[in-house]
Structure 1
Amino acid sequence: MTEKEMMQRNIEEFSRLQSYMILATEKDSEIYKAMKVRYTELKVILTTSGVNLTELDRIKE
C-alpha cells in the first residue's frame, strides 16, 4: 500500500468514525469512549502527516 493510499484510508476512516460519533446518543457510553480513542489516534496521524483537519473535523472535541 502506498503512502497516498494509506492517507486516503485514514481520511475515510476518520470521516466514517465521526459520522458514527455524531449518531451516538450516549456520550458517556463505553462504545463512544472507544470511538473517541480511535478519533484521537486518527486525528494525530492525519495532523502529523500534514492534513489540514479544519474542514474534515466535525466533532471538534
Structure 2
Amino acid sequence: MPSAADIIKDYVTEFSRLQDWMLPIKEIAPDTYASMHKRYLELKVTLSSLGVNLTEIDRVKD
C-alpha cells in the first residue's frame, strides 16, 4: 500500500504533466482542453484536500 507521501508525489507529478499538455492546446483544440481541464480540477481539489499548497505549481490558473 502506498504511503501518503507517495500518493501526493504521484498526484503532483500528474498535475504538472497535465498542465504541460494543457497550456499549448488551449487555443488549438478547445474540446480536448475542456476534457483535460476537468481532470485538472479533480487533481486540484484532491491535492488541496491533502494539504498541498498549489500556489507555486498551478500554472493554468483558471
**Fold conserved (TM > 0.5)?**
yes
How far residue 30 of structure 1 moved from its aligned partner, in angstroms, is 1.8
1:26-60 per-residue CA deviation (whole Å, 9 max, x = no partner) reads: 36622111100000000000111111100000010
Task: Tell me what 1:56 maps to.
Answer: 57
Q: Which runs of 5+ in 2 are unaligned?
A: none
In the other structure, the counterpart of 1:21 is 22
Is residue 40 of structure 1 aligned with residue 41 of structure 2?
A: yes
**Using a 3 Å threshold, how does the CA distance of structure 1 residues 50 and 27 change in structure 2: closer, same or farther?**
farther
Q: Within 2, Cα distance between the matches of 1:28 and 1:12?
A: 23
State the alpha-carbon separation in 1 of the partners of residues 18 and 37 from structure 2. 9
Q: Look up the equivalent residue of 2:39 and give its one-letter code.
A: R
Relative to structure 2, which stretch is displaced further, 29-38 or 11-20?
Answer: 29-38
TM score, norm. by length of structure 1: 0.90
> Number of residue pairs matched?
61
Which consecutive unaligned segments of at least 5 residues does structure 1 have?
none
Is 1:6 aligned to residue 7 of structure 2? yes
4+ residue segments displaced more than 2 Å: 25-29
- How large is the RMSD of aligned CA atoms in angstroms? 1.4
